[in-house]
Amino acid sequence: MNIRETVEAAERHCTAAFARIDAVALKNTERVLDIFHKHQVASRHFSQTTGYGYGDIGRDTLETIYADVFQTEAAVVRPQIASGTHALSLCLFGLLLPGDELLSVTGKPYDTLDGVIGISKNNMGSLREMGVTYGQTEMAETGLDLEAIAKTVKPNTRVVYAQRSRGYAMRFPLMPKDFAPLKEIVKSKNQDALIVVDNCYGEFVQAEEPTHFGADVCAGSLIKNPGGGLAPTGGYIAGTQQAIDRIACRLTAPSVGAEVGSYAASYQPYYQGLFMAPHAVAQALKTAVLAAAVFESLGMKTTPGVNAERGDIIQALELGTPERVIAFCQGIQAASPVDSMAAPEPWDMPGYREQVVMAAGTFVSGASIELSADAPLREPYTVYLQGGLSYSHGKIALIQTLESMEKRGLL
């Protein structure tokens, strides 16, 4: 098999999908640019601060910009938020009180939230230990099971949680428009319930976000889509003023909230990363589409397909054996610009139930908007590819990975 010719042939089937991706990127870039102009972003917004950070113009303006991007009343955007899981944990602990229920409407959340909710054996510091109950509804084949949700929302359901991305599953991700009927159902059953969205991997994939369709809160990581490959760390939470005020009390302390928090480095990567995010996401999506086209041509199951509507940057590739999964991740690592000499092996990663193999030769450690791949070692042995700051790198990495797998007799 001539791998390069196989990839080139697959690429020719991606023209229509690429055109749709470029059209969305243009809309999102124009939207972000207009918001930058509205708030008159200037070099003074990049300045560092120390101490308590009172009146930090860079921090405050960045948060106002994020609120405008998500069409919400307020936002917190902080380098001190260590990950997407941290951002979501802040939301849940900020909004839930003893006796409240957390209802997940997209099945069990991502593994790293097990300890936060209290699903795992160790409940120390969890919502469960605090007296918050948990329930869930499964996804229907076509998306949210609105009928089941309507039957499950209770008077004490305080947070209705939805994970937009697929996580380690072959289901389709949620689209921003899916949150309009969800809001209608939830609010008809409990006007006080809040819809909180794990928006990781979904930002700028479409021309709208879940909060444009009624979600109360969206949260995610800045080393994924909205950081554009430039943000070195951090997370964001955007939502209603009341929700953000409560969450900010968990971010720092009650009565202090979002008024404090300095940053001794420059805010420039956060502003520039947000500006570049629509383009970076488009590059990642094109890489994902190409991967789908290539592996479909090899007779393997992929989700989503080449021409499917996309709600996140993740491409699931069902490879069938643990050997293929490990080889694929090792190939992506070898094609990375950083730590290409490393060979990923499965390991007991904190927060995960099975061993996980993970390739991430990234400039920012763990940045999923840069080209990466990971998989839990469980049947049907599906690897999850995401990111790619340039389509050229994504294409090269796929060629080199497939060539390596073929030499090992795994294709």
Residues 160, 288, single domain; the answer is no
Residues 373, 335, single domain; the answer is yes
Q: Six-digit token pair at 303?
A: 């989700």
Name the pLDDT band for 84 (thresholds 50, 70, 90).
Answer: very high
Residue 350 pLDDT > 80, yes or no?
Answer: no
Long-range contacts, stretch 39-48, CB < 8 angstroms, 24+ apart: 39/64, 39/65, 39/68, 41/65, 41/271, 45/267, 45/271, 46/266, 46/267, 46/268, 46/271, 47/266, 47/267, 48/262, 48/263, 48/264, 48/265, 48/266, 48/267
- Domain's final residue, options 266, 283, 299: 266
**What torsion do the CA atoms of 245, 247, 253, 254 make, to the nearest 10 degrees?**
50
> Does residue 33 sit within a domain?
no
Q: Six-digit token pair at 4?
A: 């390069």
Residues 185, 233, single domain; the answer is yes
The answer for residues whose C-beta is within 8 angstroms of residue 328's C-beta and 6 or more apart is 317, 319, 373, 383, 401, 405
Q: Six-digit token pair at 391?
A: 């389509």
Residue 182 pLDDT > 90, yes or no?
Answer: yes
Mean pLDDT value of segment 49-78 = 97
* Number of domains into which the chain is organized: 2
> Does residue 37 sit within a domain?
no
Mean pLDDT value of segment 63-80 = 98
Average pLDDT, the chain: 96
Query: Any idea what the CATH number is for the domain that residue 109 is in?
Result: 3.40.640.10
Mean pLDDT value of segment 17-41 = 98
Residues 281, 223, single domain; the answer is no
Residues 137, 286, single domain; the answer is no
CB 252 within 8 A of CB 258: yes
> Does residue 36 sit within a domain?
no
Residue 352 pLDDT > 90, yes or no?
Answer: no
Q: For position 47, what pLDDT does the model report?
A: 96
Q: For position 120, what pLDDT does the model report?
A: 75
- Domain's final residue, options 266, 297, 317: 266
Q: For position 353, what pLDDT does the model report?
A: 76
Q: ∠ at Cα 268 (267, 270), nearest 5°?
A: 70
> Does residue 64 sit within a domain?
yes
Strand partners, 102: 134, 159
- Domain's final residue, options 266, 300, 323: 266
Q: For position 112, what pLDDT does the model report?
A: 87
Q: Six-digit token pair at 174?
A: 């949620």
Q: How does pLDDT run across 129-165, given as a tens digit for each residue?
A: 999 999 999 999 889 999 999 999 999 999 999 999 9
Name the pLDDT band for 167 (thresholds 50, 70, 90).
Answer: confident
Name the pLDDT band for 351 (thresholds 50, 70, 90).
Answer: low
Q: DSSP alpha helices (H): ranges in 12-121?
A: 15-38, 57-69, 84-95, 114-117
Distance from first CA to last CA of the chain, Å, rounded?
10
Residues 13, 70, single domain; the answer is no
* The model scores a pTM over 0.75: yes
Q: For position 155, what pLDDT does the model report?
A: 97
Residue 16 pLDDT > 80, yes or no?
Answer: yes
Residues 188, 138, single domain; the answer is yes
Name the pLDDT band for 166 (thresholds 50, 70, 90).
Answer: confident
CB 296 within 8 A of CB 6: no
Name the pLDDT band for 248 (thresholds 50, 70, 90).
Answer: very high
* Percent of the chain scoring above 90 in pLDDT: 93
The answer for residues whose C-beta is within 8 angstroms of residue 113's C-beta and 6 or more apart is 85, 88, 89, 119
Lowest mean pLDDT among 83-92, 225-234, 372-381, 392-401: 372-381
Strand partners, 372: 386
Lowest mean pLDDT among 34-38, 55-59, 147-151, 167-171: 167-171
Mean pLDDT value of segment 13-42 = 98
Lowest mean pLDDT among 125-139, 156-170, 386-400: 156-170
Q: How does pLDDT run across 320-341, given as a tens digit for each residue?
A: 999 999 999 999 999 999 999 9
The answer for residues whose C-beta is within 8 angstroms of residue 41's C-beta and 6 or more apart is 61, 65, 271
CB 276 within 8 A of CB 266: no
Residues 99, 232, single domain; the answer is yes
Q: ∠ at Cα 409 (407, 411), nearest 5°?
A: 100
Mean pLDDT value of segment 351-376 = 91
For tokens 């479409």, the residue is: 206
Residue 122 pLDDT > 80, yes or no?
Answer: no
> Does residue 34 sit within a domain?
no
Residue 51 pLDDT > 80, yes or no?
Answer: yes
Residues 293, 338, single domain; the answer is yes
**CA dist., res. 396 & res. 177, Å (int):** 34
372-376 sheet: strands from edge to edge: 301-303, 315-318, 382-386, 372-376, 356-359
Q: What is the domain extent for residue 122?
A: 42-266
Rg (CA), the chain: 21
Q: Count of CB atoms within 10 A of residue 399's CB?
A: 18
Mean pLDDT value of segment 3-32 = 97
Lowest mean pLDDT among 92-101, 136-145, 173-182, 342-351: 342-351
Query: Any idea what the CATH number is for the domain that residue 334 is in?
Result: 3.90.1150.60
Residues 379, 260, single domain; the answer is no
Residues 49, 122, single domain; the answer is yes
Mean pLDDT value of segment 363-378 = 94
> Does residue 254 sit within a domain?
yes
Lowest mean pLDDT among 29-38, 185-194, 373-382: 373-382
CB 390 within 8 A of CB 374: no
Residue 391 pLDDT > 70, yes or no?
Answer: yes
Residues 243, 345, single domain; the answer is no
Q: Six-digit token pair at 258?
A: 């979002």
Residue 318 pLDDT > 70, yes or no?
Answer: yes
